[in-house]
Amino acid sequence: MTTNSGFGKGKTSKKPTKSASKRTQASKQYDKLKSDGVPEFNIYIRTQGKKNWYPAGSLAVNRTSQINQAIFQEEENLREASLRLYPVLRKNKSQLEYGYRLKGSEFADEPIEVAVPQEPVLPNFFQSTFDKVKNSFSGLFKRG
Is residue 129 within a helix (H) or strand (E), and if so which, with residue range? helix 125-140
Question: Is residue 13 in a domain?
Answer: no
Return the DSSP state at 141: S
pLDDT at position 126, please?
59
Asked if residue 90 is part of any domain, the answer here is yes
pLDDT of residue 88: 92
- Residue 106 included in any domain: yes
Q: Are 56 and 45 in contact (CB under 8 A)?
A: yes
**Nearest in space to 75 (alpha carbons), one of 119, 45, 120, 111:** 45
Domain count for the chain, please give it. 1
Q: For all residues of the chain together, what is the average pLDDT?
A: 81
State which of 2-6, 12-16, 34-38 shows the largest mean pLDDT: 34-38
pTM of the model: 0.67
Cα angle for residues 129, 131, 134 (degrees, 5° grid): 110
Taking a C-beta distance cutoff of 8 angstroms, is the pair 89, 83 a contact? yes
Which is higher by pLDDT, 86 or 29? 86
CB 59: neighbour CB atoms within 10 A?
A: 22
Mean pLDDT over residues 132-140, rounded? Answer: 59
Which residue range(s) make up the domain with 68? 22-140
CA–CA distance, 3 with 75 (Å, rounded to integer): 52
pLDDT at 113 > cutoff 90: yes
Residue 91 has pLDDT above 70, yes or no: yes
Q: Residue 68 pLDDT more than 80? A: yes
Q: Is residue 96 part of a domain?
A: yes
